[in-house]
Chain A
């Protein structure tokens, strides 16, 4: 009986720990990373300490991503907050050969044709950063505060559809999280269910 209890306890702990490692919850330190962008320039999270950082998982072929770029919604957000000193890092974690994986040239081309306004578009072909953040969707959004702690993770808004017509009537969680954080308030909706395509991880 005692052994069984102990085993259950251990199993619970291990399973719990595994899950915790899967998605770092809001309030914990954001895992550091270093990636090169479309221009071959290296960016690490730690170099942006002291600033708000937005991570945005990206796949140019995903209908949910297209919903927010085709409507200019994402570009406007990027422009608004980068102008307020927020660092906006778009990450492509799709594995080579899978949908959405981009070479630096393709990334540059997308950025100019879609008129994007992020700080940088980072390439993560090994899906390592996606793995360390437990990012499963595109778009999957994370907001990190100047202390390096995660203050928001989840969906971009509350309408999980690929239809751009839903944007005007939706509540943008990322905008809310940034506005509240910048005003010194706690984020009222810190965790939501992300929606979109899956991140195309490298098969192991």
Chain B
């Protein structure tokens, strides 16, 4: 229709445009005037009337476009460029990432699909002033009580039929004050309503990614709420190296909508894509809303098996990890006992040594297999399970362990001798040899129970892998760990000749035995510390009271329940012991310990750490902050070590502060399920875990389990570089 008039004006227009373009080559067009019209009117607006030191506020870049002209979203589609904003802020001030409203999708002749905004758009960013505003600096003049001037360089590409880049240096002047009130509320509200939401809970919507045989990705969304909307779409926000075609709704049936996203990239491993799930009454309607889909996190449950490393590699890691468990401080006392046993056996028959070694190994295997079966059972019932989580986050498990450790220590001190009840001994263990075997089996079992909190680095990886796999894989992984842990003993038992490298038996052994008892008491102290972290000081004290009674019972056993004592004395003592333990158990544990207040984790936060919640993390990321999350637990010695030697040291603390990184502490001492879920997303079976979220569109950086100052400082520097690059047009 317009073609005719355009044809007429064409010769003139093209000639003038050519002239303009030739001029533009010499000096790129700076302003946004084009053929006498203003294409874009840029402006900075704030949602507040004054700046309060330390209090974040929002500033928006308001672009008003001439009718039918548009600027672009963060992913512009087949053509165009995203708008860029570069702030000139002095150190201490932080600008968050751009909060992009849900864009419009337009399709131009030639099937050119773009994502952008027409007529007007407000790109909001959160600005956080420091708690103490510095004297004037470059581009940001703040004298005492003088107004603050915020300066930003904005760059955009504005297109209708043609495209013209524009840029402007903009500033906004705001007074400083101790209080402030909201400003431009209507404008900010209108655009905040257009911001995408986080993915809702599983009860509202579930998403599943799959990769077809060809070059298509499929996103299957199941949601009754979404199904009510006539217009649903997927807006991709692919990383720079990924080429996507035009997503489309492939099928809709009932509550299920399937999107097809054609890929042109060569990356065959790509299994998901970040983007927006947009829904509205009709395409591009003003009532449009969207859920953010980040690719992997919403689909943690359907995460595909790790393809890069084979099962065998992981089994090998499991084996190595199991072997390393022997060297863990929490296992050492028990292991020493075993070595001790070997010393005693040195002179004995080869057969006997082998038997005892095998029994010890059987104890290790029994525990691991039982653990694997329990995990599989829990997994099948859909519970969140993690290594050590369901053990050490449970106060009663820790309490039980404390009792075992104490009884064992008293036994080493010689307070009493372990003798099994008559019925068991007569049936199962009729000979002395069998009795020894049972002892070895128990030692193996015990060593392994103590080893569980010590996830050696290898073991962490291997078990993290196992938890996402089938029951058979979980079981074989645990068997591999058990094999690794028992390997040295099996070897020693099978080759008793090597035992001669160990020292000769003698009276010194009694001393070593007693000394090991003290090591176990040290372990007990650690366990009580964990109990204290879980149940508070009261809880730890009540538990200690019960432990004292147990110790008295043990002493009674050693003092009165002797083979030389009369039957009635033995009976009375046993009954008294039982009564003591039961009564005190009921009182101290069943009543007092149970009702001991759950320790307030928040009160333990030191310095500038903030308590972690999933919402808090999301908010900070949304506001464009870099966030460091320390996944820790009171019973995790590695965590404590890292905190003391790295995270809480002056250089690291300063670096975090200087770069404005928000520090969140995720305390897993009592097994917070939200933290468990996040740990699983990172494929970790337990703590420690250290993650740095550099920003909204950046992949989180995962640190190794054992930190050094260098590692942390280096990573902080790299992310700041990336962010700086992104702010640079």
Residues of A whose CB lies within 8 Å of any CB of B are 4, 8, 11-12, 15-16, 19, 22-23, 25, 60-64, 66, 69-70, 95-102, 106, 109-110, 113-114, 127, 130-131, 136-137, 154, 160-164, 190-193, 195-204
Contact = CB atoms under 8 A, between A and B. Distances in A.
A19 B245 contact: yes
B110 interface: yes
Interface string B4-41: 00110010001101101110111011000000000000
B110 A199 contact: yes
Given A62-B163, A137-B78, A97 B112 contact: no
B169 to A, nearest CB: 15
B7 to A, nearest CB: 6
Interface string B452-487: 000000000000000000000000000000000000
Nearest to A95: B109
Interface of B: 2-3, 6-7, 10, 14-15, 17-18, 20-22, 24-26, 28-29, 78-81, 108-112, 114, 157, 159, 161-165, 212, 214, 216, 240, 243, 245-246, 248, 250-251, 253, 260, 262, 264-266, 729
A90 to B, nearest CB: 16
A193 B75 CA distance: 12
B216 A16 contact: yes
Provide the main secondary structure of the chain B interface. Answer: mixed
Contacts of B253: 4
Given A8-B251, A11-B250, A160-B81, 7 more contacts: A12-B212, A12-B250, A16-B262, A61-B17, A66-B21, A101-B14, A161-B81
A197 B25 contact: no
Contact of A200 (B3, B29, B161): B161
A12 B259 CA distance: 11
Nearest to A18: B262
A203 B111 CA distance: 10
Most central of A190, A192, A204 by chain B CB within 10 Å? A192
Nearest to A71: B25
A97 B7 contact: yes
Contacts of A161: 81, 729
Contacts of B18: 60-61, 106, 109-110
Contact of B7 (A4, A96, A137): A96
Contact of A195 (B81, B111, B265): B81
Contacts of B24: 63, 66, 70
A10 to B, nearest CB: 12
Contact of B260 (A15, A23, A130, A160): A15
Contacts of A64: 163
A97 B110 contact: no
Contacts of A11: 250-251
In the A-B complex, the 7 residue pairs with the smallest Cβ-Cβ separation, listed nearest first, are A201-B110, A70-B25, A201-B109, A198-B79, A99-B162, A97-B6, A162-B165
B218 to A, nearest CB: 9
A102 B214 CA distance: 40
16 contacts: A12-B214, A19-B245, A25-B264, A61-B18, A63-B24, A66-B21, A95-B109, A97-B6, A102-B14, A113-B22, A163-B28, A164-B28, A192-B243, A197-B163, A198-B163, A200-B110
Most central of B20, B21, B26, B262 by chain A CB within 10 Å? B21
A99 B9 CA distance: 12
Nearest to B160: A99
B110 A136 contact: yes
Most central of A16, A113, A204 by chain B CB within 10 Å? A16
B65 to A, nearest CB: 17
A106 B12 CA distance: 12
Most central of B2, B214, B262, B264 by chain A CB within 10 Å? B264
A55 B24 CA distance: 25
Contacts of B80: 198
Contacts of A162: 28, 81, 157, 165
A69 B21 CA distance: 11
B250 A15 contact: yes
A191 B78 contact: no
A11 B108 CA distance: 24
A99 B245 CA distance: 25
Contacts of A66: 21, 24-25, 28
A19 B250 contact: no
Contact of B214 (A16, A113, A203): A16
Contacts of B10: 96-97
Contact of A61 (B21, B109, B246): B21
A162 B29 CA distance: 11
Contact of B17 (A23, A97, A99, A193): A99
B81 A198 contact: no
B535 to A, nearest CB: 55
A66 B29 CA distance: 11
A81 to B, nearest CB: 22
Contacts of A110: 18
A199 B10 CA distance: 18
B24 to A, nearest CB: 6
A204 B216 contact: no
Nearest to A67: B28
Contacts of A102: 14
A192 B267 CA distance: 12
Contacts of B25: 66, 69-70, 114
A111 B86 CA distance: 37
A65 B557 CA distance: 93
Contacts of B240: 193
Contact of A190 (B2, B216, B266): B266
Contacts of B157: 63, 162
Contacts of B262: 16, 19
Contacts of B110: 127, 130-131, 136, 198-201
Given A60-B18, A63-B165, A136 B216 contact: no
Given A12-B216, A63-B163, A63-B165, A196 B79 contact: yes
A60 to B, nearest CB: 6
Contacts of A70: 24-26, 28
A12 B164 CA distance: 38
B103 to A, nearest CB: 16
Contacts of B248: 15
B110 to A, nearest CB: 3
Most central of B14, B79, B214, B245 by chain A CB within 10 Å? B79
B435 to A, nearest CB: 63
Contacts of B163: 62-64, 197-198
Nearest to B81: A160
Contacts of A201: 108-110, 112
B316 to A, nearest CB: 33
A97 B18 CA distance: 14
Contacts of A137: 78-79
A199 B108 CA distance: 10
B29 to A, nearest CB: 8
B344 to A, nearest CB: 66
A136 B112 contact: yes
Nearest to B245: A19
Contacts of B79: 136-137, 195-198
Most central of B81, B114, B163, B253 by chain A CB within 10 Å? B163
